[in-house]
Amino acid sequence: MVAGTAAIVWGAERFAEHLADASKRLGVTAFALAILLAGAEPEELATVVTASVRDVGGVAFGDVIGANAAIVTVALGVGAWMVTIPFGRSIQRYAFGGLVAGILATAFMWDGALRRVEGATLVGAYVVFVATIWLSERRPPSLGEAGELDGAADPEGRVDSDLAWVLAGLVALTLGSMVLVEGVRQLTDIESTQTRLGLTVVGFATAFELVVLAFSASRHGVTEAVIAGVIGSYAYNMTMSLGVGALVAPISITDASLLHAPLVVMLALLAVAIALGVRRGSLGRRHAVALVAGYPAFVLVALW
């Protein structure tokens, strides 16, 4: 599990670090290249697909739910502690869209199964989500890790080298996800334990890279990238990560009740973040404390 997590973090860093340079020299946006190669959250997508193929439904569901709880509390909280994050109209559109995506995915997962037709619906919902924001803002939305890439490119360098690093990152993400999921399978074959590990350990491990990115973006004053990254990743995990995983192999667990309370808390955490942001028009240090405090509460619910 440790080795798999390390490979995922390394791969995500290499992917994000070189994606902007490669896209600039290829003449496409970083957002477009991110979607074509791996999406806004490649580590989540790879982990869910691996878990679905290996028939470890508890890890697939748990990873997405746990990661979303971590990013909307820890990642957003870290960013808000570092610098005041504006919560304007465009961000509100992201946020409410992410909440709708979460509600839709929750409805599909409630019975403990995600079928191919539901997976296709979730993938379609992500396309609608992106298209709506794109049309309303007349530019590609900055979602997930892609949100920090467009302005980060180095005008010098070789495209073949950058593409090699991007592909190396994708390979590391894929292999790391396989090792991480296999680690959980080797640790226990009890579904309830696998699900709880997915909700906590695996979910936080795959979300950790976004926590680091939120810290870095805040430190450099890229405030909108923090909130757009968090909300975009939340929506992506609820739609593309789960949807593609279900399309590859239907996902299911025997005891759906293991997911009910964590799903409700996951949605509530985003709703609270939205309420705090809309009320003041921004998120600051006081909000950061409340957000970060929400994660231990989620862990307690997940382990109950």
280 belongs to a structural domain: yes
Residues 81, 233: Cα–Cα separation, whole Å? 20
Which residue has tokens 């390394």? 10
Contact between residue 214 and residue 195 where contact means Cβ atoms under 8 Å apart: no
Residues 113, 104: Cα–Cα separation, whole Å? 14
180 belongs to a structural domain: no
Query: What's the domain count of the chain?
Result: 1
233 belongs to a structural domain: yes
Name the pTM for this structure.
Answer: 0.81
- Hey, which of 32-41, 43-52, 102-111, 230-239 has the most confident mean pLDDT? 102-111
pLDDT, tens digit (0-9, with 9 covering 90-100), for 63-98: 999 999 999 999 999 989 988 988 888 778 778 988
111 belongs to a structural domain: yes
149 belongs to a structural domain: yes
7 belongs to a structural domain: no
* Mean predicted confidence (pLDDT) in 45-65: 91
Residues 91, 59: Cα–Cα separation, whole Å? 30
Burial class (CB in 10 A: 0-12, 13-18, 19+), 50: buried
Three-class SS of residue 282?
Answer: strand
pLDDT, tens digit (0-9, with 9 covering 90-100), for 254-289: 999 999 999 999 999 999 999 999 988 899 999 999
* CATH code of the domain containing 261: 1.20.1420.30
Q: How many CB atoms lie within 10 A of CB 260?
A: 15
218 belongs to a structural domain: yes
Q: In which domain, by residue range, is 298 found?
A: 55-158+189-303
197 belongs to a structural domain: yes
Show the DSSP H helices in the chain as ranges: 2-26, 30-37, 42-53, 57-70, 76-82, 89-109, 116-137, 159-187, 191-197, 203-219, 223-236, 242-248, 257-280, 285-303
pLDDT, tens digit (0-9, with 9 covering 90-100), for 159-195: 578 778 878 877 887 788 778 778 888 888 888 999 9
